[in-house]
Amino acid sequence: GAVVSQHPSWVICKSGTSVKIECRSLDFQATTMFWYRQFPKQSLMLMATSNEGSKATYEQGVEKDKFLINHASLTLSTLTVTSAHPEDSSFYICSAPSGRAWGGELFFGEGSRLTVL
């Protein structure tokens, strides 16, 4: 299947700093990518939909100024957590659809574990 690569796999930062997470589709093009967040023993929660060449669409309750998403090319989307705080510590996972117009499976990255001290 298609491969989605995420980097870094884990990061520790101080409170107040910004952290950038990259999500790349390695062998296919993705006009749309999805960013999820997962807290321990909880489900994946969709944060935003990243659209190549246009603004991201954020889910209700997700601060767009805090979680900056840029989808500059057909193979790269980035999530920047600005002014991170301990409550932002979580497992962030990106995904991209298989290419089916709607309803197809998602290919997920390996996830990025963020710990804010």
**Interface residues toward other proteins, by CB under 8 A:** 1, 4, 6, 34, 42-44, 46, 49, 91, 93, 95, 102-111, 113
Indicate the residue among 49 and 89 with the shorter CB distance to other proteins.
Answer: 49
Least spacing, CB of residue 90 vs other proteins, in Å: 13
Least spacing, CB of residue 72 vs other proteins, in Å: 22
Least spacing, CB of residue 16 vs other proteins, in Å: 26
Indicate the residue among 28 and 91 with the shorter CB distance to other proteins.
Answer: 91
Query: 93 is written with which tokens?
Result: 């996972």
Indicate the residue among 63 and 105 with the shorter CB distance to other proteins.
Answer: 105
Indicate the residue among 22 and 82 with the shorter CB distance to other proteins.
Answer: 22
116 contacts: CB under 8 Å, gap ≥ 6 = 12, 13, 14, 15, 84, 85, 86, 87, 88, 89
